[in-house]
Amino acid sequence: MSSFLAIQSFSQTRLPGMFSDNMVLQQQELASVWGIDKPGAKISVRGSWGNNATATTDANGHWKLKLQTPAAGGPYTLVIKGSKEISLKNVLIGEVWFCSGQSNMEMPVKGYNNQPVIGSNETILNSANDNIRFLNTPRSSSITPLYDVKGEWKVAGPATTGNFSATAYYFAKKIQSVLGVPVGIIQSAWGASTIESWMDKESLSAFKNKMIPATLPDSFPNRTPTILYNSMLHPYVGYTLKGVLWYQGEANRENANEYHALFTSMINSWRTQWQQGDFPFYFVQIAPFEPGKINAAFLREAQLQTMLSVKNTAMAVTMDIGERTVIHPAQKEQVGNRLAYWALAKDYNIKGIAFSGPVYKQLEKTTNGRLMLTFDYCEQGLSSFGKPLTDFEIAGEDKIFYPAQAMIRNDKSGVLVVWNDAVKNPVSVRYAFKNWAEGSLFNTQGLPASSFRTDNW
């Protein structure tokens, strides 16, 4: 039983930890607020912006209501009155994003030991901003779904920002500066966690090889199905959001063949549970990284397939910022900005900006035996920004790949020609389809193409 449920016996008004001073509520929504009190208690919630709502607790003392929020602004006070009165201060109304995944989402602005975030010191120094708020979820695990979490909302500033997720912070900084509204980030991430650990037992039921534990594991709860969902996600289900940011995949390289199905199931499950429709779900493609026997390109391919097949999802590509022997890219500002481009274009109606790198569309054979590839998301064409086009391979019907040359056609936007004169009848192209590659293909706005293959061998 969670601590939140256990305290019913005290018969007094109590809120989950995410409802606290300095919180951010999603603007212009019927925002969910909930808690516990003695059974049959009358509950009223009043926002100092002028709206209020009421509820009555059920036989177990639970209550939940929806409170209309205004356009972005604040600070406000939120008063909850039941058996006792609780007053939450310095509440802002703005844009709320839930950010989850493994260590690359968890990586703080100050970096890890011996693993920096580029520009972190200047970022931290200049981070004072009352309109950016973070709630960091402490690591925890549970065999059953919980209803409360520890942690508190904090305001961005030199004393706090260093401990915020770097990816999420740079995302928040970008959209806050462009939109001029408060941004609230709820971070819930655990390094080395598998996607299965963030899924509930219902969404895993179709995967017969996934064993739902009956007891907490002695080690690696972050790699155990359902365990992090229960403790670090379930408590937030229903907290009114704008969308989700996800940065995970490294821990699933060994079962990349089922990642697309797992990822799709997880996204659909979260959306169903939140009951906010197909809210935006934006994620980061894992960056190139050399160590490992498993070809991580298959995992990147599964992520790309998810973007192309699941409604209202998008992917920030990192092919150009990987680090050969370090799994945590230091250029986190690039990552956060690329996620923000998607949100600004798709959710906040900012016109005239690029938000995706080139995405492979189709292949044709030319009259001279070369292969011509076309791409989406490159209206002004392709570029390598003066560097050689590298990491292309070509194969004939024997399915043997050879290094290939590539050339951007200047007479047509978004067209690439690939060839190897020794391969007389080519049928397939692969780009950066291996653990380590240095991305060389971009659109003219500087956003990189994902690794891809035109075959399914």
- Summarised one tens digit per residue, pLDDT across range 359-415 is 999 999 998 889 999 999 999 999 999 999 999 999 999 999 999 999 999 888 899
Contact at 8 Å (CB) between 395 and 427?
yes
pLDDT above 70 as % of the chain:
98
Cα-flanking dihedrals φ and ψ of residue 8, to 5°? Answer: -55, -35
pLDDT confidence bin for 434, thresholds 50/70/90: very high
- Summarised one tens digit per residue, pLDDT across range 313-360 is 999 999 999 999 999 999 999 999 999 999 999 999 999 999 999 999
pLDDT confidence bin for 11, thresholds 50/70/90: low
Residue 80 and residue 428: Cα distance in Å, rounded?
63
Provide the pLDDT for residue 6: 45
pLDDT confidence bin for 446, thresholds 50/70/90: very high
Structural domains of the chain sorted by starting position, each given as residue range(s) with its CATH number in brackets? 93-346 (3.40.50.1110), 361-453 (no CATH)
- Summarised one tens digit per residue, pLDDT across range 206-239 is 999 999 999 999 999 999 999 999 999 999 999 9
Q: What's the predicted TM-score (pTM) here?
A: 0.96
If you average pLDDT over residues 30-46, what whole number do you get? 97
Provide the pLDDT for residue 3: 45
pLDDT confidence bin for 12, thresholds 50/70/90: confident
β-strands 281-284, 313-316 pairing? parallel
Contact at 8 Å (CB) between 431 and 449?
yes
The residue type of 8 is: Q
Residue 4: pLDDT over 90: no
- Summarised one tens digit per residue, pLDDT across range 101-142 is 999 999 999 999 999 999 999 999 999 999 999 999 999 999
pLDDT confidence bin for 292, thresholds 50/70/90: confident
Provide the pLDDT for residue 294: 79
Residue 5: pLDDT over 70: no
Cis peptide before 403 (omega within 30 of 0): no
Q: What is the DSSP string of 196-248?
A: GGGS-TTTTTT-TTPPPPSS--SS-GGGSTTHHIIIIIGGGTT---SEEEEE-
* H or E element, residue 24: strand 24-26
CA dihedral 167, 171, 172, 175 (to 10 degrees): 180
Provide the pLDDT for residue 185: 98
The residue type of 233 is: L
Residue with structure tokens 């961005």? 156
Would you tell me how many other CB atoms lie within 10 Å of the CB of residue 446? 12
Cα-flanking dihedrals φ and ψ of residue 56, to 5°? Answer: -125, 135
Average predicted confidence (pLDDT) for the chain: 96
In Å, what is the CA distance from 51 to each residue of 36, 45, 174? 21, 9, 30
